[in-house]
Chain A
Amino acid sequence: MRSLFMLSMLTRAVVSCILSAYICVHPAHAGQTREYKNALVLFPQESLSAPIPRAIYFAIQSEFDKSPALNVSLFAENLDLYLFPDPGDKQAINEFLGKKYANTKIDLIIPVAPPSLDFALSLRNSHFPEIPIVYCAEVAHGNGRLEHRSDVTGAAVTLDFAGTIELARTLRPGLKQVAVVAGTGATDQYLLSRFREAFKGYAGKLDLIDLTGRPLDDLLEQVSRLPESSCIVFLFMRRDGSGRLLPSWDVQKQVSQAANAPLFSLFDTALSYGCVGGRMSQLEEVARKTGEIALRVLSGESAAAIEPAVIRGNPAMFNWRELKRWGIAESTLPPGSIVRYKETSHWGEYRWVIIGALAFICLQTLLIFLLVKSLIRRKRAEEQTSMIRQELAHISRVSTVGQLGHSLAHEINQPLAAMRVNAEAAQTLLGGEPPDLEEVRAALGDIVADSKRAQEVVACIRDLVKNKPPELNPLELNRVASDAVQMVQVEAASKGAAVHLELAEDLPAVYGDHVQLQQVALNLLLNALESVTENPYPPKLVTVKTDREADGRVSLSVSDNGPGIEPVIVKHLFEPFFTTKPEGLGLGLSICRSIIEAHGGSLSADSNLEKGATFRLHLPAGPAAKPKASSGGSKDAG
């Protein structure tokens, strides 16, 4: 979330950079046809640092900025009329301003509040003749009659004391007392008198706690000990009971903080200083209206033609934080209430983003979970397949051993025969006079050698028959080829076939399982032998060849001069259960291929140019070509 927030900030920064760069590059665009005007806004008692003058000033300014035709500079002056009430002082200020703006052509004066209007009129008479005046005032001043002359017009707000008291009663159902806070300044007193007037309507319904004209410390002490069923109405406090000059907005804030009852107020600009709410005079709104009228006058419209505007219908406005503080539910607010300063939590602001992101994360998690699950299932299936393949390979090997029965018996009987003959010869030799011990020793040596040979054959058969997982070792393909040829030699002879062995020299080692590769070689050889026996006449030739390929791989090929492979069959050759033999299962070649592929190699079949077929397997050479392992496979069985 944080990063999202940062991102949006960053985007904003970039956009504003680009915008300002654009404006810098095209200054003429902004001011080319705009006329320059100067307006002077007069505040009666506070400078721009106070919330009300500041709000008014910026509202007017923003209205001016909207004009496509005029470029208005807005000057602001604080007249401090209540601090310097003496006519001589007023005159001095009048003179001062006259001198101050002697060299600045003022096109319009905007007095804020009636005292400023009076001042403006006198100022105009003495220094700025015939300059139009557009004021910003309050309706009740001047008994509801708004100044409207040939060159004076303006806008005004209404103050709604009764409405604010009524609002307090609505929000605090048990309300019995209203504490009114006001200072001793002119405005303070003016507002107080208006309030008292309005409060008369509540005589008997509400008690008034008068907290006016007190020193600040005392006031703060009093507001902290108000009765339970009370509220505060803060009017204005420019000066306290001790005569100290104070910023009213700051006093309001301090009072609110010290108070044990909610504080109501009358101006929207006061809302953010500890005020829970009220029927607010829309100062910003009236300032904007003032600005709008001022602009029309500046554009050349006659002030006489513009009726003074009145901003009515003080809306109920609330400070969300204060509502929280006093436990006032938003649902109890009157319809059409405006709630400001709502703390927008990250949740509130980014709810959909958060929900979206969470949903995304959840989905992703689910997806990952499913993927992992399917991966596990797949792995399990692969393991099972591998086991089945190994089992098949084993069955196929056993079947091969069965096919080789004749040869294998021969391979064992041969050394056994030699051993027996040697042993019996040795017995005879020992009976001689004198016994030929040298020859006996030689015979015994031969027996030992033959027994080893028989043992090797038995070990080889055992390996082929045993069902064990493949083991990867560096091995010589030449050895695999010659061993296989040796094993089928008798088989070949009995079929009248000849097996030729052509071994490449300096063949690099391959990584693989000796038994499995031997199985493949045997399978291919037996297939080839079976194929050549279909030849009615000799020669019945099978050639086993090892070679080093251009791509660095090593190959072992078994070719025969049998009838060859029909082209239609070639693509099915390695499919499981495809067989051309009546008694075949069709697994031999498919198992062979799976073995070779598990070794990272390939197995292919081709018809020879002249006659017969060639089966060729390629294996990667060297330790770098370590295959992924797994699988078993046996040959034949086809």
Chain B
Amino acid sequence: MPDEINAEVIVVDDDPSVQRALNRLLMTNGFARRIFGSAKEFLSDDKPSPAAGCLVLDVEMPGLDGLELQAELQKRGFRLPIVFITGHGTVPISVEAMKQGALDFLQKPFDSRSLLDVIRKAIEQSRQRSSEERECRDLELKFLTLSTREREVFRLIVKGLLNKQIAFELGIVEKTVKVHRARVMEKMQANSLAELIRMAETLRLPPCSSAIFASPTRAGRNQI
């Protein structure tokens, strides 16, 4: 599935048969893919992880198993959605996996369509997050072009203060506030106050926020 953002499916399974089968399935359905035989092999891969895609993990593997790999990836800030496949899943394991943010937990032998559906969903999710992240990064770059005074004005604008109130707050004349406000609107490429407010909200999102705006409130679902 070609797209603006290149999506890639990463499979980690120690079983050669399963590797071959998954490779064939993904190839047949047009997915770019990378297949690894173990967690170690995957972690030591030089190639940068794709912007979008999905990680298909076998639970039972010698060395680091699926769940341990999940924890390790979380530590490393890896964000692709994870789909677990298991030869003999137990409820506690699947609950643990889901708690740690797995997208799905499939029991072998699984229906290929289910797997493909989950993979597609995961890719969609990662893509969406990927584009949000890109937007966020753009806004951040724009925000960085603002001067200190302009950032102050930006903050007060989105707080809903009038120019007069801003002038009073900052101890400057109202006219100057207007100039700053026009600059902010221009630099942030905002067409309306509403858009500016939305941008401010976006900038506060933890993934793209700088230290100043860090806030965990909306983390949840999109995190890996």
* B17 engages A420 (CB within 8 Å): no
Give complex CA distance A409, B62 in Å.
16
B15 at the interface (CB under 8 A from A): yes
* A425 engages B25 (CB within 8 Å): yes
Nearest CB of A to B157, in Å? 55
Chain A residues closer than 8 Å to B61, beta-carbon distance? 493
Q: In chain B, residues 5-23, which have Cβ atoms closer than 8 Å to a Cβ of chain A? A: 15, 17-18, 20-22
Using C-beta atoms within 8 Å of the partner chain, give the interface range for chain B: 20 to 34
* B15 engages A421 (CB within 8 Å): no
Partner of B87, one of A410, A420, A428, A432: A410
What are 9 A-B pairs at a CB distance below 8 A? A406-B88, A409-B87, A413-B107, A420-B111, A421-B22, A421-B24, A421-B112, A490-B87, A490-B88
* A425 engages B109 (CB within 8 Å): no
B78 at the interface (CB under 8 A from A): no
Partner of B21, one of A446, A453, A494: A446
Q: Take A409-B88, A414-B87, A490-B88 as given contacts and tell me if A425 and B21 are in contact as well, using a CB distance cutoff of 8 Å.
A: yes
* B110 engages A417 (CB within 8 Å): yes
* A418 engages B18 (CB within 8 Å): yes
* B60 engages A490 (CB within 8 Å): yes
Which of A407, A411, A413, A421 counts the most B-chain CB atoms under 10 A from its CB?
A: A421
* A414 engages B28 (CB within 8 Å): no
Across the interface, name the chain A residue whose C-beta is closest to B113. Answer: A424
Chain B residues closer than 8 Å to A493, beta-carbon distance? 60-62, 65
B52 at the interface (CB under 8 A from A): no
Across the interface, name the chain B residue whose C-beta is closest to A420. Answer: B109
* A419 engages B88 (CB within 8 Å): no
Give complex CA distance A392, B161 in Å.
86
Chain B residues closer than 8 Å to A429, beta-carbon distance? 28
A439 at the interface (CB under 8 A from B): yes
* B62 engages A417 (CB within 8 Å): no
Q: Take A409-B88, A418-B17 as given contacts and tell me if A442 and B65 are in contact as well, using a CB distance cutoff of 8 Å.
A: no
* B24 engages A417 (CB within 8 Å): no
Chain A residues closer than 8 Å to B20, beta-carbon distance? 418, 422, 446
Give complex CA distance A432, B28 in Å.
9
Give complex CA distance A443, B28 in Å.
11
Give complex CA distance A336, B83 in Å.
126
Give complex CA distance A481, B65 in Å.
23
Q: Chain A, 448-465, contact with B by CB distance < 8 Å: what is the 0/1 string?
A: 011001000000000000
A184 at the interface (CB under 8 A from B): no
A60 at the interface (CB under 8 A from B): no
B148 at the interface (CB under 8 A from A): no
A557 at the interface (CB under 8 A from B): no
Give complex CA distance A75, B69 in Å.
133
B175 at the interface (CB under 8 A from A): no
Q: In chain B, residues 48-99, which have Cβ atoms closer than 8 Å to a Cβ of chain A? A: 60-63, 65, 85, 87-88
Give complex CA distance A409, B24 in Å.
24
Which of A413, A415, A420, A498 counts the most B-chain CB atoms under 10 A from its CB?
A: A413
Chain B residues closer than 8 Å to A494, beta-carbon distance? 60, 65
* A414 engages B15 (CB within 8 Å): yes
CB-CB nearest 9 A-B residue pairs: A417-B108, A410-B87, A424-B112, A418-B17, A421-B21, A417-B109, A418-B21, A409-B88, A413-B87
Nearest CB of B to A50, in Å? 120
* B24 engages A422 (CB within 8 Å): yes
Q: Chain A, 396-435, contact with B by CB distance < 8 Å: what is the 0/1 string?
A: 0000000000110111011111111110110011001000
A45 at the interface (CB under 8 A from B): no
Give complex CA distance A453, B21 in Å.
15
Give complex CA distance A493, B69 in Å.
13
A290 at the interface (CB under 8 A from B): no
B192 at the interface (CB under 8 A from A): no
* B87 engages A489 (CB within 8 Å): no
B29 at the interface (CB under 8 A from A): yes
Nearest CB of B to A417, in Å? 3
